[in-house]
Amino acid sequence: MDTGDIFQKLKNGETILSNDSQVHRMREAAFATKKLLLQMNDTTDPNEMRILLSEITGAEIDESVTIFTPLHINYGKHTKIGKNVFINFDCVFLDMGGITIEDGVLIAPKVSLLSEGHGILPEERQSLIPKPIHIKKNVWIGAGAIILQGVTIGENAVVAAGSVVSKDVPDNAVVGGIPAKLLKQFNQRIK
């Protein structure tokens, strides 16, 4: 017998088994989010986009945030977006495991933030394994990059276009490749 709310379990990083009695609630929430996304992705009004994204995430999106649609999110309520964030066209956020995007982050087109995964063994594959993604201040994520579950990207870091990031990235680092590796470490200039 399952105990506890499925969304709280996800937030806590608990694996959701395919026979969990509340799995249907995740699907229902995803379809409710999709309805709002269709509206958001169909408007050209930046204020309306922010209002709809606020409804999707359940938190106010600051007016300094710029979104170029389409944006694809499967749930939304586990996504937190800071100030002065730029999200370019055609990004995918799977956020059941949690996504935090701090201030000043730049996200290029076709970036995927995937906070969910599945077991490797066939008998575990239908289970959902959530692990949060944390993108710290002033990060730049290049076009087509994929950030996998459980990854933290340090302040001021740069993720090269097309990279697959499966491990934490230190502050002031440039990473790239598949899997992403450290390419350069730099010192942050103090103004």
Residues with catalytic roles: 118
Say which amino acid occupies 117: G
**Which 3 state secondary structure label does DSSP give 174?**
strand
Ramachandran quadrant class, 188 (left: phi over 0; alpha: psi -120 to 50; beta: rest)? beta
Amino acid sitting at position 32 = A
Asked whether the beta carbons of 70 and 111 are under 8 A apart, the reply is no
Per DSSP, helices labelled H in the chain are 6-11, 23-42, 46-57
- Write the DSSP string, 73-100: ES--TTEEE-SS-EE-TTEEEE-TT-EE
Q: Are 45 and 66 in contact (CB under 8 A)?
A: no
8 A C-beta contact, residue 66 and residue 86: yes
